[in-house]
Amino acid sequence: MTDEVKRIAGLADKDQKLSASMALLPKLLSSKDLNGLAAFVKSMADEKVTSTIVSRPVLAELVSVLKKDEALPGAFKREAIEKALEGLNQQAAVFEEQIANLRYLLAKIYIEETQYETAAKILQQIPLESGRVYPIPFKFKVYVKIAQLYLEDEKSLEAERFLNKASAFANKKGIKPKDKSRYQSSYVQIRDYNRKFAEAAAGYFRLAELVPEAEREVVLERGVRAAILAPAGPQRSRLLALFYKDERAKTLPNFPILEKMFLGRILKPEEVKAFEASLDDHQRAEKSKGVSILDQAMREHNLLAASHVYTSIAFDQLGTLLGMPSSEAEQLASKMIAEGRLHGTIDQMKQLLFFKSDSSNTIDDWDARIESTCNAVNEIVDLITRRHPDWVTKVAK
């Protein structure tokens, strides 16, 4: 259809050219004529051939068709957009809006193909800071989208850079609730990637109230994982309590380990290994000296759990309990005491760790155990009622 493109380019009347261009465009797309489309866009971009009065509505129609026509294969759409961008680059300043829309559409295609970093880099080419004056909601949306895409590829530093740019507009008027929710979700995820697990867990819990119901379970599960990995101590205990007392958490895969940690029970290696399988790559990373984030969190938890069982313990026994040399167990206990995350004293001469009771924690644990027992009794009663309704009715009389 290159000849038809040339014929339209030669039309002098603007109305005739606009009408003929609008008629030719769907034919080029339905026939998947990439060469014809490239020539067509190049003709639209050439100000000596086509006035912007004609070219801008035609290019807007091109974006609309590529966006809405589901019959066109994704691979063809990608090539068509790339050809169009190539033809428009010579007049980037004139057709900046059309180019931005095409880039946004191209990024969506790469997202569908799970090429997240490529999609992010395409969106970065939209000149939000140096080009035309874009609406604040659009800038915010694009910056957040770029951050989300980098997070998909676990590139938290790049994600944080663009989320910081979005933060300048977070409280401006016109921001859509769904974009604000995505911003908050990305913010929490970055805290997770940066190993600020206590902040992340609290953020996930708040976020669970904002996201659609279909996404709520995923958000809560992420929050539970972050709470479990947070440094042991009063702050983590409060986070564990938040999730444990939330009825929605009882259906989550990691609820059993959450329950044991909340109740201050020592975790077994096989339980830790099962939990490890649910972690993301960044949550399995080494912290220092070959000790992973998970290893550190479990050792700290078991040390705290031991304080509920023992009044004192020798460091060689503590090392055996935590699966580490006694000297390292002493260092861990010393660090947690110094940071106020463990109540106790150390007798280095006797190589003993003495635990100090925390009455408030003891009361919380006692209440939690009573609640757990009552729930178990209720479950037994419900089971008997379902299996033997006649007997229950007879006894009740």
Q: Tens digit of pLDDT for each residue in 205-263?
A: 999 988 888 889 999 999 999 999 999 988 999 999 999 999 999 999 999 999 999 99
pLDDT at 79: 92
Q: Which residue has the tokens 């304080």?
A: 307
Please state, in angstroms and as integers, the Cα–Cα distance from residue 56 to each residue in 91, 97, 98, 99, following that order: 12, 9, 8, 11
Helix (H) or strand (E) holding 124: helix 116-124
Give pLDDT, residue 1: 60
Burial letters for 234-259: b for 16+ Cβ neighbours within 10 Å, e otherwise?
ebbbebbebbbeeeebeebebbebbb
- Asked if 110 contacts 119 with a C-beta cutoff of 8 angstroms, the reply is yes
pLDDT of residue 360: 44
Residue 72: the pLDDT is 84
- The amino acid at residue 118 is T
Q: What per-residue confidence (pLDDT) applies to 358?
A: 57
Q: How far is the first Cα of the chain from the last one, in angstroms, to the nearest whole number?
A: 89
Predicted local distance difference test score (pLDDT) of residue 93: 82
Helix (H, G, I), strand (E, B) or coil at 313: strand
318-335: pLDDT as tens digits: 999 998 999 999 999 999
The alpha carbons of the chain give a radius of gyration, in whole angstroms, of: 31
The list of the chain residues with pLDDT below 70 reads 1, 131, 357-369, 371-372, 395-397
Give the pair of three-digit tokens for residue 95.
Answer: 């057709």
Sheet strand arrangement including 344-347: 312-314, 352-355, 344-347
Query: What type of residue is 29?
Result: L
The packing angle between helices 359-387 and 389-396, to 10°, is 110
